[in-house]
Amino acid sequence: MTEMITFENVCKSFGKTVILNDFNFRVMRGEKVAIIGPSGSGKSTLLRIIMALQDIDHGKVSIDGKPLWEVNHGRHLVKPTRRHLRDMRSLVGMVFQNFNLFPNLTALGNVAAAPRHVLGLSKKESEARAAALLAQVGLSEKLSNYPSTLSGGQQQRVAIARAMALEPKVMLFDEATSALDPELVGEVLGVMRDLASARDLTVLVVTHQMGVARAIADRVCFMEGGCVVEEGGPEALLSQPKNERTRAFLRAVHLA
């Protein structure tokens, strides 16, 4: 098995606030990992670093065996070029809490945009790819709908199809079901589960909904104070956490 995401001794602070403290983290190809932890513990920052939206202070991050924040130049390591970051970003798809669809494009247009402009596919090819992806998330009937005419669950399914449009090796979900009305969580979670069943796709889910972690993950990591405090299979970690801090967090979540 090969490593798809590797963090080695990564440090990241915002001013005096330490977010990642000598952080080590590995995700194998095809693994499905959920990250849980208190608000402000750095979960979104972790995903943003993987997506190359946020740089790091020290250490090394690799995606699919390639260093993210540096490139080999002869025997020296130099800062990444824009092109390197663009290539690396195309390995990763990300879905956010608030959908972030382009409001002026239809569902089809939202999903077709990246294949058309990043891969340079023709209009016809990019729309065919988009239609297939929208069918996969159960939205064949909604191709020409604008986001404002879709429910939250439907918008999020468009966002998932859009994130898949460049055939990423890694999918990141940041609280993807948290803004949805409870009755719409199931339809989005179903789509996430279907995606996660693809053996080769590596999936990282940040969530404060423990049901989502259970449904998707082979491994759950509890993050606090700049590091992973405890990790394990969903059943073991969520039902029988060993660490006192994990226990306190899960108690608080269950009381919420």
Ligand X SMILES: Nc1ncnc2c1ncn2[C@@H]1O[C@H](COP(=O)(O)OP(=O)(O)OP(=O)(O)O)[C@@H](O)[C@H]1O
Contacted by 45, from ligand X, Mg ion, none: CB < 5 to 8 Å by type: ligand X
Smallest gap from Cβ 179 to ligand X, in A, equals 12
Query: According to CB under 6 A, which one of 21, 45, 90, 100 is a site residue for ligand X?
Result: 45
| Nearest to 132, CA basis, from 159, 112, 154, 153 | 112
Mapped onto helix, strand or coil, the DSSP state of residue 125 is helix
Q: Is 51 in the site for ligand X (CB under 6 A)?
A: no
What is the secondary structure of 145-157 as a DSSP string?
--GGGS-HHHHHH
Amino acid at 143: L
Does position 52 interact with ligand X (CB under 6 A)? The reply is no
Is residue 43 part of the contact set for ligand X (CB under 6 A)? yes
Shortest Å distance, C-beta 128 to ligand X: 36
Query: Does the protein bind ligand X through residue 39 (CB under 6 A)?
Result: yes
Strands 58-63 and 66-67, by their bridges, are antiparallel
Residue 225 touches ligand X, criterion: CB under 6 A: no
The nearest distance, CB 108 to ligand X, in angstroms, is 31
Interacting residue with Mg ion among 44, 106, 177, 202 (CB under 5 A): 44
Shortest distance, position 18 Cβ to Mg ion, whole Å: 17
C-alpha 222/C-alpha 243 separation (Å) is: 10
Among 9, 14, 57, 87, binds ligand X (CB under 6 A): 14
CB atoms within 10 A of CB 109: 19
How far is Cα 177 from Cα 74, in angstroms, rounded to an integer?
45
Q: What is the distance, to the nearest Å, from the Cα of residue 124 to the centroid of all Cα atoms in its chain?
A: 29
- Supply the minimum distance, in Å, between the C-beta of residue 40 and ligand X: 4
Q: Which residues bind Mg ion (CB under 5 A)?
A: 44
